[in-house]
Homo-oligomer: A and B are copies of this chain.
Amino acid sequence: MDSITVTLGERSYPITIAAGLFSNPASFMPLQRGDLAMLVTNDTLASLYLEPVRSVLEQAGVIVDQVILPDGEQHKSLAVLDQVFTALLQKPHGRDTTLIALGGGVIGDLVGFAAASYQRGVRFIQAPTTLLSQVDSSVGGKTAVNHPLGKNMIGAFYQPASVVIDIDSLKTLPANELASGLAEVIKYGIILDYDFFVWLEDHLDELLSLDPGALAYCIRRCCELKAQVVAADEREHGLRALLNLGHTYGHAIETHMGYGNWLHGEAVAAGMVMAANAARRLGQFSDEDLARTRKLLLRAGLPVSGPEQMAPEDYLPHMMRDKKVLSGKLRLVLPLGLGSAEVRTGIENNIVLASIADCQD
């Protein structure tokens, strides 16, 4: 059983990674006999994991309440958040309750915000069931719900008491969602760790066939890398921005195509190739590194170019609305070879347009 610690002073917490954790009562520490917990999941996952997790907790003497939310990004709303508060108050749950988020990024973000704001903050355990949420949203403390006028606009920085990653949950994950998670995995190699990039080149097939040892190492390494970044920059003033490699291009694809048509990781994969092309044109990324990046993404089943119906000019208006734009000039995360990256300011539009066109040849 792998375990790492996210170091944030008195808000430090452990991430445990192994197969079979959802069948082991010890996984859900610090819950103890006699504690009250609220298990929150969505209607898709409920049929797969709700009863097993509930029964394991009850065997350990935890009093388990539950609420099942509708599945999907469109339900990451204040109205659905209120359903969680209503369920908590109906029992009622006191300040000493624990919320357990059993699901992917939507459940994790929403339940995390519910935990941050119920009675001004209660304990929160994350049990992420998608590769994307395991390597991304389980570290960093970003919680949120969407508003009709903007994604993730209402939320809090709030850390869980622990994160429980049962690798077996990936067995029920659709292939395109596994690939979407791999885009974020590959991102960590590009921006922070050349050795991990090489490891991914060597072990991608094992990850795709859900080899437990390879998955455990991979998820652990991503969590370690993100934990280092977050410990150094919890509120995203500097270093943490590197985690957005490919995201400015990717958000343009997601927004233009309508949420749900391109998975987040698919859009980020295409966006990383575009960023790599921009870096190549600025003389800081070699043709060879670009070829290796493209090859690894393709092997993972990910796109290396944007949607055919989007011209380079279609990206710019979306990209200019990015939070990183300053005085009308783009700021982009660009790789500096494999294993390091920088935030670069004042990039001319013609470089951006060319970096997108490069992917359409």
Question: B-contacting residues of A (Cβ < 8 Å)?
Answer: 78, 81-82, 85-86, 89-90, 92, 94-95, 113, 116-121, 142-144, 147-150, 153-157, 323
In Å, the complex CA distance between A304 and B150 comes to 51
Task: Give the nearest-CB partner of A119 in chain B.
Answer: B153
In Å, the complex CA distance between A173 and B86 comes to 35
Set of chain B residues within 8 Å of A92, measured between Cβ atoms: 149-150
In Å, the complex CA distance between A309 and B82 comes to 36
Contact A121 B85, beta carbon cutoff 8 Å: no
In Å, the complex CA distance between A299 and B116 comes to 43
Set of chain B residues within 8 Å of A85, measured between Cβ atoms: 147, 153-154
Contact A149 B78, beta carbon cutoff 8 Å: no
Contact A323 B94, beta carbon cutoff 8 Å: yes
Set of chain B residues within 8 Å of A156, measured between Cβ atoms: 116-117, 120-121, 156
Set of chain B residues within 8 Å of A157, measured between Cβ atoms: 120-121
Q: A95-B323, A156-B156 are in contact. Are A86 and B149 (CB under 8 A)?
A: yes
Q: Out of B120, B142, B143, B148, which one reaches A142, CB within 8 Å?
A: B120
In Å, the complex CA distance between A89 and B146 comes to 12
In Å, the complex CA distance between A233 and B226 comes to 32
In Å, the complex CA distance between A150 and B95 comes to 13
A-B contact sample (8 more), CB < 8 A, given A86-B148, A89-B153, A120-B156:
A85-B147, A86-B147, A86-B149, A89-B147, A89-B149, A90-B149, A117-B154, A156-B156
Set of chain B residues within 8 Å of A116, measured between Cβ atoms: 156
Q: How far is the CB of A118 from chain B (nearest CB, A)?
A: 7
In Å, the complex CA distance between A150 and B78 comes to 17
In Å, the complex CA distance between A220 and B120 comes to 27
In Å, the complex CA distance between A23 and B85 comes to 41
Q: How far is the CB of A348 from chain B (nearest CB, A)?
A: 24
Task: Give the nearest-CB partner of A157 in chain B.
Answer: B120
Q: How far is the CB of A325 from chain B (nearest CB, A)?
A: 11
Q: How far is the CB of A99 from chain B (nearest CB, A)?
A: 13
Contact B118 A154, beta carbon cutoff 8 Å: yes
Q: How far is the CB of A241 from chain B (nearest CB, A)?
A: 13
